[in-house]
Amino acid sequence: MTKRAPFVVGITDHVIPPPDLEAAVLDGFAEVDFLDTRREADLDPERLARLDALLVWSTPIGPATVAKLPRCRVVVRFGVGYDKIDVAALEAAGIPFCNNPDYGTEEVADHAVSLLLSLQRRLWEHDARARTYGTTWQANTLTPLRRSSAATVGVVGVGRIGTAVVNRLKPFGYRILGYDPHQPAGHEKAIGYRRVRRLEDLLAESDIVTFHCPLTPETRGLIDRDFLGRMKPGALLVNTARGEMFAGLDPLEEALRSGHLAAAGTDVLPTEPPAPHPLLDAWRKRESWLEGRLVVTPHNAFHSDEAAIEMRRNAAETARLFLEDGVLRNRILP
């Protein structure tokens, strides 16, 4: 007779089912219940009531769901962000919440720097225009086009990913500014960037601004008309952090149309999949005023084959670590 596993770990949903990697980490230790829904309203109360731990990908977890988790001892998110998780409701129910920040750091940093370099070198614009060249070729240069050592990059958020971005940028010779009030004094000396105390100072000095901060009440809607207006004329913007940091797409469209913002590269949008908007319509149609100046990728900066495996194993290991040893890894408090 097969011995029953002592615990039950639920998985709400997944990018690519089935949850075989998680099952391998939990093999013989916990039964895996794959709930397979991204809608909170579709979570089965009877199955939730059995769970000792819950792993979450994209399904929101609010107070109504928390109330249906009487046995649950820990909730773990596969990713880093947790804006869809009611951490306060979990804490009030005595259920600790952990996220998963130690995967995909290299991938997001590589993605951000790739966007940054390609926009600074105006590669996308060159590609678009070169399709139309006939009798001339090498003479078709674009200006302004600054060399890296003559440009200043402002990094907003110098945590794990922001630090990885700084480390990747240094060999190119950029002057690098960093804004992060949560980093300890001297962090800038250890990593190698110039710290600014006010975000507006970073905007005023930076030719390129790249975002690597979490979504919080302070950062939600941060990139609005006033923010963009404070950036240097002709600056570049890169966002691989959170789409909700955009205060909608109207301010971004206005800044690009006016030319105040030379170009933008983003892996994230305010609504995903994106809702209809004139800026995205122009991007899809490759309208001449925008072509090569807006680069959009579908929120996959975190992904590589290796990162996908690391993410899934780490989340399952975090749940097992707590259930087995009582150790909370990467705990997030309200």
The set of catalytic residues is: 242, 272, 299
Q: Which whole-number Å values give the CA distances from 41 to 16, 37, 80, 97, in the listed order?
A: 21, 9, 23, 20
How far from chain centre, in Å, is Cα 186? Answer: 26
Using DSSP's 3-state secondary structure scheme, residue 84 falls into coil
Using DSSP's 3-state secondary structure scheme, residue 32 falls into strand
Neighbours of 325 (CB within 10 A): 8
Question: Which residue, among 124, 115, 170, has the nearest Cα to 148 in the 3D structure?
Answer: 170
Strand order across the beta sheet in which 208-211 lies: 194-195, 175-179, 152-156, 208-211, 235-239, 261-266, 294-296
Which pair of structure tokens corresponds to residue 37? 């829904």
Sequence-ordered list of residues with C-beta below 8 angstroms from that of 285, at least 6 positions apart, any chain: none
